[in-house]
Amino acid sequence: MKLFAKYKIAFGALLLAFGLNQAGAQTNAPVSLQQISGAMGRAQTVFTRFVQERHLSLFNEPLRSEGFLCFQKPGHIRWETTSPYKSILVSDGSGVAQFEWTDEKWRKLDLGLGDALQNVVSQTAGVMDGGYASSRSGYASSVTNNADEVVITLIPQNETVSKMMAAIEVHLTADLKETRRVVLRENGGDYTDIQFSNQLVNLKLPAKTFDRSAPVDVETICAVAASAKP
């Protein structure tokens, strides 16, 4: 259960962050969890670039990857790594699929843990409905307003989860319009730092963005995103 709880936390933190973008809270005003809860339901879609660094305590350099995250209500998630390898994990809300780029073509995996992954993704995608923040179940949360950013810190209260995860930090710009980073801090010093850029909320994503048989390529999504930018 630990690993799934951790996975759920990670996705939950990401979606929590993007939900927050819609809060429209006043700069420097304290952000309440009620505001967060109300705001989380407003993002119909999210598209953003990410750079992820896994910092391992026994290594000097992090394990780095980058790619794109797509979200669409209800429960559609696509986590696509574009470098240093190509991989797509996609859920359309009813199932999950994974594709790996090998031998110059996409290859759908016979995914182990597929049902389990779908279960986790479905639950975590559900945070967009606001229940995650409003129930506060399992986490002690705090909000820190700094000069140029707002940091939400979630501390797992569940004993099982807390053995794996020490804290989750969501870093937002002070105006709550941009999610800068999500940091997943594990016990023992390891942490994962995910930095976001080029975020677009409520973008009309192309058909088959979340297709589990043949998802549209990310270049098509990026083209749509580029044309939608003001």
Q: Which residues bind other proteins (CB under 8 A)?
A: 1-8, 54, 56, 58-61, 63-65, 84-85, 87, 89, 98, 100, 102, 109-113, 115-116, 119-120, 163-164, 186, 188, 190
Closest contact distance (angstroms) between CB of 54 and other proteins is: 6
Q: Which string of DSSP letters, residue by residue, matches 136-154?
A: -TTEEEEEEE-SSEEEEEE
Closest contact distance (angstroms) between CB of 224 and other proteins is: 27
**Beta carbons of 43 and 202 less than 8 angstroms apart:** yes
Closest contact distance (angstroms) between CB of 12 and other proteins is: 13
Residue with Cβ nearer other proteins (25 or 139): 139
Contacts by 1-4 with C-beta closer than 8 Å and gap 24+? 1/160, 2/160, 2/161, 2/163, 2/164, 3/164, 4/116, 4/119, 4/120
Residue with Cβ nearer other proteins (18 or 191): 191
Residue with Cβ nearer other proteins (28 or 59): 59
> Beta 139-145 vs 105-108: how paired, if at all?
unpaired
Residue with Cβ nearer other proteins (51 or 113): 113
Residue with Cβ nearer other proteins (21 or 118): 118
Closest contact distance (angstroms) between CB of 84 and other proteins is: 4
- Tell me how far apart the alpha carbons of residues 141 and 158 are, in angstroms, rounded to a whole number: 13
> Beta 191-201 vs 63-72: how paired, if at all?
unpaired
Closest contact distance (angstroms) between CB of 42 and other proteins is: 28
Find residue 155's DSSP bridge partners.
140
Structure tokens at 28: 């420097």
